[in-house]
Structure 1
């Protein structure tokens, strides 16, 4: 619908084009007042009374009067509309209503709407704004303008927040920031993983196409058929972020903190105390550098991670990036599955007092009935409760773990068998460290969600400093407290007969189990988008094909989990080396090199990081595989 402002600019053009009236409207131009335009317009509109009279005579008379504005209608309006429109508005607010039931109504409808809006704004009794505000908001949204205050209404307490925001705008103050009381915004990041539009958009036109196929072609079909898109994407430019700096920090912290922090104690054993501390700081710096390269590239070439690669290097690069993302996410799912199985096994052994020692593979298979239905969810908001519970349990587990490790160090001091550098297994630490810092898939979505995306480099720097301190402290304290006896999952080193430890162990396992579907979602949607054209909303056949495909992906992840169950620390290192290193250390400098590198120094740094990433993949992957096969 065109806006009233644009209608007012074109009204005198439509009126002046009427036959026999141009000599009377010679003075109408862009500087003519709206009052004068409205007065002239009323002479050509048909009132309700006139339309009712014409209906009793002949339909053709009403049609001609409403569409062409004949002279006899104009003369009638001279008496009823021109001279008395202002006076009659007190008696009948809808004197000139849009005749929607006559031919040609869509042509003249906006003229009636403009006249009605002008009358409401100038008469002595203004119209109630309870509806007109909503109508104007909807009209502004149809023109591409977003009223962010309406977004508050979706959440509890939304009317109050909308009122406060409106009052602030009326005073000219900055709109206040409201705390995010729901978990949906965090889940939306996984729907835009790596900037890809992964949420299924069910288009209503698909149902219409199915109906048309059954009925055959009709007069409503376009002569030139439009191509059916494989999937609907909303570009980053179309989305306007609303998240504050604080909200962006919280989303990044939620994205990075998971199971990796629990593997770092064992990883410090593989690398040595001092070596691991130095390397984890170095890995954090290189990771932050890679993230910034990707962000600066996205400023130059807007789009998702894969789209940027496709624009710069072609479709093969896009497919390579998407394949790496899918492989890394499936690797995370497999590692998380083994982690849950190991924790549940230790929990059962502790509760049964070593009377029930079941194999790890059995606990992996026990997760299938839970993962299968959760993997079939296509709406991420339905997983908000499970994700919230998972993060709460993870926070409880991390706090208790730090408290226990510090208590052990205070009571017994540093373990005597701690080494500063482990020359035999140090490559395993590098892969685990990269695994712990992996989160590049959520970088672009967080930037797009920010109200001020240019501040993201400062946000990322602060978050990376905090994460480095957290991860380094976790690995250092765990290895220093338990030495060579540290387990792959450090919770297993805590007193197993303690009921609270058992509770933490069980809750942390449930937390990771509930977060597995979020890790699986990006991989499944990336592959589904390439394999299936239709969404499946109106086709049970397509829907069940997708369901079977998701079950197949879950089966693949379970098989990989079983294969890596015996060496969880090496398995995590392999995932970090093979899947995470290319995403962090190879693709970002490669994209930045072509899009942004102008000076020789920048080109050299990009090439150096690219060579470092390739060498790291070959070195750590080969040694990790050799270590797994050697045992």
Structure 2
């Protein structure tokens, strides 16, 4: 008896059914592939971010203001002394607008790169690496080094900020104590704070610093109000005030304003932690509102401070406040205490980069890894201390690290990242405009880095030679 498989009609029918099934399967596969492509094209990083405690728009605004209103604003009168009150007024606004625009293009590039790589968020170093991979062939070859370059600048900047904080604390405490005993040298005050700073940086969990940080913010705001009162009550005047300063000191002004205005290290983390990250950019977004407030405050502080104290304006305007008044002494002491606490937060970033990114992974199998972490924490504090002792000039430190790090991090790198990100996706007039605009920013940023750093180092050598 023959089986049904020997029947030609059955075989033909079976072949037909298999063909139909194959066609159906192919259609389904095509539908799945098309759906996958559509999902890839429509991938929205904002919808895939999982943040344990997302921040509101107002909280993000407050954090951004807090990150920018540090010791830098107190150096603005000295910056206006280098530039003159007219150039200082216009220059601060121009630099502020450039910095704000640079942040906008950095955020836009990060979002685009997140979409392409289907990642919820990227850090600044990771954004640089991903962007270089999308750029021209020359930059693709060094894409793997891009994150390390950005990390190096961030590390130097954070260490520089900590150096500024040590000098600030020591100078303000000395200014108070000098009213009663002026025999103690500035370096001894730095030495007095060395051990407390080391112990402060042994705190690994930022939660323990949070209550102190809140207190430091309140102290800063109250002290800031009193400082403005002193500036206005001491009598601003245009007499013997230069509208335009000497050209050779303009780079010092540039570096100081950049150091004061920029908070580039916290921009992406803040945007990545938002409940509604789309509200960060935009015409009336968190960034523009924050920068408008910051630029206004900086212009006002620099302009009024210079008109009041002129060429005598010091690296921190707190040092110009009359030291023989009790309330002024309290303000200086409280501000120094606030900056002491903030030192721990700034140094935390430097430790995070040095330990978690580089040293820690190398010691993963070392039984004494925990001990080595404390060694690294101690060494970083010692580096900031030794640099502060070597160059105890607040205004020169601020200008140096502003020009050296923030010219690159705040202006040149965002433009370079934007250029690489859209290198292959834009053409014609749109590409040409993007290329010209970003090249101008890159040239401006690196020119500021070279000229500003050289001028600051020259002034340091002149001061201590």
Q: Same fold (TM over 0.5)?
A: yes
Indicate yes or no: 2:244 matched with 1:416: no
Q: 1:388 to 1:287 in 2, by over 3 A?
A: same
Distance 2:78 2:207 in 1: 35
Distance 2:57 2:394 in 1: 37
Counterpart residue number, 1:341 = 170
Counterpart residue number, 1:625 = 457
Counterpart residue number, 2:136 = none
Query: Is the partner of 1:378 in helix, strand or coil?
Result: coil
Counterpart residue number, 2:68 = 256
Indicate yes or no: 2:180 matched with 1:357: no
Query: Is the partner of 2:209 in helix, strand or coil?
Result: helix
Q: Is 2:71–2:316's contact at 8 Å kept on the other side of the alignment?
A: no
Query: Is the partner of 2:234 in helix, strand or coil?
Result: helix
Q: Is 1:345–1:357's contact at 8 Å kept on the other side of the alignment?
A: no
Match of 1:283 among 95, 118, 141: 95
Distance 1:551 1:334 in 2: 14
Query: Is the partner of 1:357 in helix, strand or coil?
Result: coil
Query: Is the partner of 1:622 in helix, strand or coil?
Result: helix
Distance 1:240 1:601 in 2: 40
Counterpart residue number, 2:20 = none
Distance 1:375 1:541 in 2: 19
Distance 2:254 2:67 in 1: 20
Show CA shifts across 1:115-160 (max 9, x none).
xxxxxxxxxxxxxxxxxxxxxxxxxxxxxxxxxxxxxxxxxxxxxx
Cα offset, 1:278, TM superposition: 0.9
Distance 1:372 1:452 in 2: 38
Show CA shifts across 1:177-196 (max 9, x none).
xxxxxxxxxxxxxxxxxxxx
Distance 1:394 1:254 in 2: 9
Could you state the TM-score of these two structures normalised by the residue count of structure 2?
0.80
Show CA shifts across 1:399-454 (max 9, x none).
00111111122xxx405221111114222111000000120111111112222211
Alignment of 1:442-521 (within 5 A): 442-457=266-281, 458-521=285-348
Distance 1:289 1:312 in 2: 18
Cα offset, 1:579, TM superposition: 1.4
Counterpart residue number, 2:127 = 308
Counterpart residue number, 2:442 = 610
Alignment of 1:225-244 (within 5 A): 237-239=49-51, 242-244=54-56
Distance 1:628 1:568 in 2: 11
Distance 2:395 2:59 in 1: 33
Unpaired segments of 5 or more residues in structure 2? 1-46, 115-121, 133-142
Indicate yes or no: 2:229 matched with 1:403: yes
Show CA shifts across 1:587-625 (max 9, x none).
111111111352221222111111111111111111221
Distance 1:242 1:505 in 2: 35
Runs of 4+ in 1 over 6 A off after TM superposition: none
Distance 1:540 1:394 in 2: 42
Aligned residues: 389
Cα offset, 1:386, TM superposition: 1.9
Counterpart residue number, 1:151 = none
The CA RMSD over aligned residues, in Å, is 1.9
Cα offset, 1:249, TM superposition: 1.1
Alignment of 1:43-54 (within 5 A): none
Structure in which a larger fraction of residues adopt helix: 2
Unpaired segments of 5 or more residues in structure 1? 1-234
Higher RCO structure (Cα 8 Å, ≥6 apart): 2
Cα offset, 1:543, TM superposition: 0.4
Indicate yes or no: 2:351 matched with 1:532: no
Q: Whose radius of gyration is greater, 1 or 2? A: 1
Match of 2:375 among 530, 537, 548: 548
Show CA shifts across 1:79-119 (max 9, x none).
xxxxxxxxxxxxxxxxxxxxxxxxxxxxxxxxxxxxxxxxx
Distance 2:297 2:189 in 1: 30
